[in-house]
Amino acid sequence: MNATPWVAALFYTLHWAIQLAFIARGLLRPHREPASRIAWVVIILAVPVLGILAYLLFGEVNIGRRRLARMRAVLAQMPEMADVAGMDAANRRAEVPERYAHLFRVGHSIGGFEPVGGNRARLLPDSNATIDALVTDIDAARDHVHLLFYIWLPDRNGCRVAEALKHAAARGVTCRAMADDLGSRLMIHSEHWSAMSQAGVRLAQALPIGNPLRRALTGRIDLRNHRKIVVIDDGITYCGSQNCADPEFRIKAKYAPWVDAMMRFEGPVARQNQYLFASDWMVHVDDGIDALLRRPLPVFPPGLPAQVVGTGPTVRYSAMPEMFEALMYTARHELVISTPYYVPDESMQGALCASARRGVATTLIVPARNDSWVVGAASRSYYGDLLAAGVRIFEYVGGLLHAKSLTLDGEVALIGSANLDRRSFELNYENNILFHDPALTAELRQRQDRYIAASKPVTAQAVVGWTRRRQLWNNAIAMLGPVL
C-alpha cells in the first residue's frame, strides 16, 4: 500500500491546524484593534511559513515571563505612588486651573503620580548646550547622579558625559548609568564603558538582548527602553527628546543635524523621574535604591505644577494615546505638535482632525527627510485627511526634527521621549513631563515657531498631485502599521 497520500494528507492537515492555531491566537489576544487582527489573519493565510514566523517575532507585545516577574517583584517593593513625593503639604500643592485638571487626572491614572508644584524649568537652547548644562550639573553633584538614555554614543558629547561621571565617582558621588542594550550598543561595547566601570560608575544595560535567537523565543527583541532620564541629587532632572550624542549623530549622519528639545527641571518633579529610573534600574541590577524614594525632600519655593507620565509595554494599554488624545480634545484655540514619527491609530488621527474642524489652529511639524523610510511613507498617507480637516502640516528641512513637543492654548505643554507612533504607544518605555505654565509654554511655542520657519508647508494641492505610484506606496506601507 502506497503511504504517500496518507503522508500528504497528514501534512496538509497539520499545516492547516498550525495556521488555524495561530489565527485563533491572533484573534484571542487582548488589546488589539480589529485592523490588526485582520492584517495578521491575511498575512498568516497568504504566506503561511513567513507569516507564522513574523507573528512569533512581532505579533505579540511580550517582554518575557522572567522579566515580567522581575518587574512585578520590583514594583511590589517600591513605596506607594502617593508617598513617592516624600514631601509635606507645601510641596504637594499644585495649582492647576480647573479647565486643565482633567489632563493631570489622565496622567495620574497612567503612572500614579499627582501633579506637584514648586518646580522651576528652562528650555535648553540646543543639543550641545544641553550637554554643557548636564556636565555642569554632574560636576556640581554632591550625592548621586542617575542617568538613562536610549542612545548613548561614544562621540564627543557622549564621551564628555562619560568623563564627567568618572570624575564624579572619583570624588565619592554615587553614579548609576543605564543605557538601552540595542540603542547604545556602540557605547556599551566601547572602551569608554569599561573605563566608567573601572572608575566606579555603576552601569546597567536596559533590556539586554543576549543571544538574538534565544531572545526571540522568550520575548520581542524590539521592545526597547526609549527613555531619556537624568536625576541629580534628587532635585534636578532633565526631560525631552535628546539622546546622549552629538547633533551630528554619526550613526545616521546623512540626516543630521538631529534637532532636539530638552528641558531642565528643578523641584519635586525630579522625585517622580527618580521613581521611573529606580524601577528600571532595579529590574536589571541587584541594587535596591528604593530607599531614595522615601527620603524627605526640602520645601521648594512656589513654582509651576508638573507631572511625570511614564509609559511602556508593561504599563496600562493605550496609556500614551489616551494622554495625547486628551490634550487634543482639550484644545480650544491652538494646538501645535512636533514629532519625528507620525503613525497614529484611527482614534488619534480622528482626534487631531476633530481639533482643526472645531476651529482650533492645529499644526503638525514633521521632518522632510525621515531616518525611517517606512515611517516617512506611512506618515504621508495621513496627510490628505489632515489637510482636508484644516490641519496645517510643515515638513522641517534643517535636519532631522527629533523634538517631541506639544503646546496647548499657550498654557499647557507636554515634552518628553514619546512619538506619535505605534512604537511609542505599545512597544517602547517612554517618559514625558506634563506641565502648566504660560511663560514656559510660550518659550516652547517660540521654539516650535523656529521649526516652522525652517520648514516647507505641505499643501492639499501638492498631496493631490502625488503620482498614483507614490500614493499606492504610502498607503501600502501604512497598512503595516496595525501589524507592527
Which are the catalytic amino acids? 226, 228, 233, 402, 404, 409
CB within 8 A of 182, min separation 6: which ones? Answer: 207, 209, 221, 224
| Dist CA 340 CA 365 (whole Å) | 8
| Dist CA 150 CA 427 (whole Å) | 13
Return the bridge partners of 128, or none. Answer: none
Q: In 440-480, where do the E strands start and end?
A: 455-458
CB within 8 A of 88, min separation 6: which ones? Answer: 299
DSSP codes of every residue in 402-429: ---EEEETTTEEEEES--EEHIIIIISB
Q: Is 315 exposed, middle or buried (0-12, 13-18, 19+ CB in 10 A)?
A: middle
Tell me how crowded residue 134 is: count the other CB atoms within 10 A of its CB. Answer: 25
Rounded to the nearest 5°, which phi and psi values hold at 423? -65, -45
Rounded to the nearest 5°, which phi and psi values hold at 250? -60, -20
Rounded to the nearest 5°, which phi and psi values hold at 295? -65, 140
- The three-class DSSP label of residue 283 is helix
User: Do 134 and 105 contact (CB within 8 A), yes or no?
Assistant: no
Q: Which residues of 138-159 are buried (b: 16+ CB within 10 A; e: fewer)?
A: beebeebbbbbbbbbbbbebbb
* Residue found under cell 484571542: 28
CB within 8 A of 230, min separation 6: which ones? Answer: 134, 137, 145, 146, 147, 148, 236, 237, 238, 273
Q: Is 357 exposed, middle or buried (0-12, 13-18, 19+ CB in 10 A)?
A: middle
Tell me how crowded residue 216 is: count the other CB atoms within 10 A of its CB. Answer: 16
| Dist CA 88 CA 299 (whole Å) | 7
What's the chain's Rg over C-alpha atoms? 23
